Amino acid sequence: MISFTAASARALVMLVPPHGAIFCHVQSHIAVDECGAVEFFTHGAKLVGLEGRNAKLTPATVEAALTHFQKGFVHHSQPAAISLTQSTELGTVYRAPEIAALSAVARAHGMKVHMDGARFANALAHLGCAPSDITWRAGVDVLSFGATKNGALGAEAVIFFDRNDVRDFEYRRKKAGHLVSKMRFISAQLDAYLDQGRWLKRAAHANTLAQHLADGIGGVPEAAITHPVEANAVFAELPDATVARLRAAGARFYDWTPPKDGRTLIRLVTAFATPDADVANFVAVARG
Least confident interval from 76-90, 105-119, 161-175, 199-213: 161-175
pLDDT value at residue 284? 96
pLDDT tens per residue across span 163-194: 999 999 999 888 888 888 888 999 999 999 99
Radius of gyration, CA atoms only, the chain: 20
| CA-based max dimension of the chain | 61
Show the beta-strand stretches assigned E in 26-138.
46-50, 78-85, 112-117
* CATH, range 199-287: 3.90.1150.10
* Angle, helices 240-248/276-287, rounded to nearest 10 degrees: 130
pLDDT at 4 over 80: no
Q: pLDDT averaged over the chain?
A: 95
CB-count burial class (<10 Å; 0-12, 13-18, 19+) for 84:
buried
pLDDT value at residue 2? 52
pLDDT at 103 over 60: yes
* CATH, range 4-180: 3.40.640.10
Q: Mean per-residue pLDDT for 75-92? A: 97
Cα separation, 198 vs 204, whole angstroms: 10
Residue spans of the domains in the chain: they are: 4-180, 199-287
pLDDT at 5 over 90: no
pLDDT at 1 over 70: no
Least confident interval from 178-182, 218-222, 274-278, 280-284: 178-182
pLDDT value at residue 288? 87
Q: Mean per-residue pLDDT for 202-221? A: 96
Confidence of residue 124 (pLDDT cuts 50, 70, 90): very high
Q: CA distances (Å), 174 to each of 74, 146, 170, 184, 257, in order?
A: 32, 20, 6, 15, 38
pLDDT at 52 over 70: yes
pLDDT value at residue 216? 96
Q: What percent of the chain has pLDDT over 70?
A: 99
